[in-house]
């Protein structure tokens, strides 16, 4: 029995060491870095992203240096995309088909001449240059044209035929284009509507916003007070939000518990640059809608979460078995020792 407990303990230790070592090897063997090669038209020399002043109708080449700092060869996908606002209130550059919302300026994706997506095989210790040619709009424009060059590499430690789980390393270099038009542009944020929603097993209200101006909004603080008859007012605060130019998005505020009735919301956003605006919204939520949300959140548990749950249960089971065998073996050993003494 003691031998069995010892072997089980050894196996548990080896599994833990193997798992940690596997993750460490994936990070060490497959890693890379990127650097923007800034052209002469760079406006702000103190930043590492492209901040360019472009002249109408003229071409510009955006160059990126990719260095494989790991021990294994990598396949890296590089693409140039438009900026958009994520539903968590950040600016994203990873959507290939992201479109601008009510924009008078041309999107960055439409200015690219040639391929927007390039795959590169970069050997260990090697550095490769990737470039995109863009042509500025024929006329000067107000505000900015915002996008980014996104690189993605698959760094999965292993692949399974039953589970398709990928680990990716993604880096972005922003692309900001300025024109000769120096007219001041102020953000134009609008709250379109509110709707009940379930998100990650949590229920609350999703607020649909848009920014119809060709300028981004940075360093945003959001403060909201949500009132419901029979409940205490809910106060919500968030910081460091970002909104892309000419974008629309939904921002979720959790409410626990979400009850039927009328919700009145007063929501204020304030940016680092001094832009401030207050919105109001009134929303009626029925019991039927809450029941529908309950069903949808129960059905929307992701496969990865199920893997985590099952894995956790297995760990608890193995640890419980280990303790049972350990203390059973210890107890049996004590009884055997006691019986041996009685025979002396």
**Confidence (pLDDT) at 122:** 96
Cα–Cα distance between 94 and 170 in angstroms, integer? 9
For 39-68, b/e burial (b = at least 16 CB within 10 A) is: eebeeeeeeebbbbebeeeeebebebebeb
**Confidence (pLDDT) at 155:** 72
Cα–Cα distance between 43 and 51 in angstroms, integer? 6
What are the residue ranges of CATH 2.60.40.10 in the chain?
31-178, 189-293
Which is the CATH superfamily of the domain at 189-293?
A: Immunoglobulins (2.60.40.10)
**Confidence (pLDDT) at 330:** 59
Evaluated on CA atoms 246, 249, 253, 258, the torsion sign reads positive
**Confidence (pLDDT) at 33:** 96
**Confidence (pLDDT) at 19:** 41
**Confidence (pLDDT) at 24:** 45
Q: Does domain 31-178 have CATH number 2.40.50.140?
A: no
Regions of the chain short of the pLDDT cut 50? 3-24, 26, 158-163, 299-301, 306, 341-344
Structure tokens at 96: 């290939």
Let me know how long the chain is: 344
**Confidence (pLDDT) at 199:** 83
């Amino acid at each position: 029995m003691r031998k069995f407990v010892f072997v089980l303990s050894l196996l548990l230790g080896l599994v833990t060491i193997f798992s940690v070592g596997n993750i460490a090897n994936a990070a060490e063997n497959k890693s890379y870095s990127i650097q923007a090669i800034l052209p002469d038209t760079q406006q702000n020399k103190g930043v590492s992203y492209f901040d360019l002043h472009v002249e109408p109708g003229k071409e510009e080449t955006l160059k990126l240096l990719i260095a494989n700092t790991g021990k294994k060869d990598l396949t890296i996908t590089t693409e140039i995309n438009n900026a958009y606002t994520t539903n968590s209130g950040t600016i994203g550059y990873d959507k290939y088909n992201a479109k601008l919302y009510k924009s008078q300026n041309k999107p960055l994706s439409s200015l690219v001449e040639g391929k927007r997506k390039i795959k590169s095989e970069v050997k260990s210790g090697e550095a490769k240059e990737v470039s995109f040619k863009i042509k500025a709009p024929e006329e000067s424009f107000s505000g900015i044209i915002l996008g980014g060059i996104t690189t993605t590499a698959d760094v999965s430690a292993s692949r399974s035929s039953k589970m398709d789980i990928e680990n990716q390393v993604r880096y972005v270099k922003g692309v900001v284009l300025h024109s000769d038009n120096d007219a001041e542009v102020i953000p134009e944020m609008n709250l379109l509507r509110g709707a009940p929603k379930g998100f990650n097993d949590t229920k609350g209200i999703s607020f649909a916003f848009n920014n119809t101006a060709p300028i981004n909004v940075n360093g945003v603080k959001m403060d909201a007070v949500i009132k419901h008859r029979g409940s205490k007012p809910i106060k919500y605060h968030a910081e460091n939000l970002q909104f892309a130019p000419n974008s629309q998005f939904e921002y979720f505020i959790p409410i626990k518990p979400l009850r039927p009735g009328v919700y009145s919301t007063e929501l204020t956003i304030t940016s680092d640059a001094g832009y401030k605006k207050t919105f109001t919204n009134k929303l009626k939520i029925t019991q039927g809608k809450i029941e529908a949300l309950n069903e949808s959140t129960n059905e929307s548990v992701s496969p990865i979460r199920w893997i985590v749950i099952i894995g956790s249960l297995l760990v608890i089971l193995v640890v419980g078995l280990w303790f049972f065998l350990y203390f059973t073996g210890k107890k049996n050993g004590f009884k055997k020792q006691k019986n041996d003494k009685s025979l002396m």
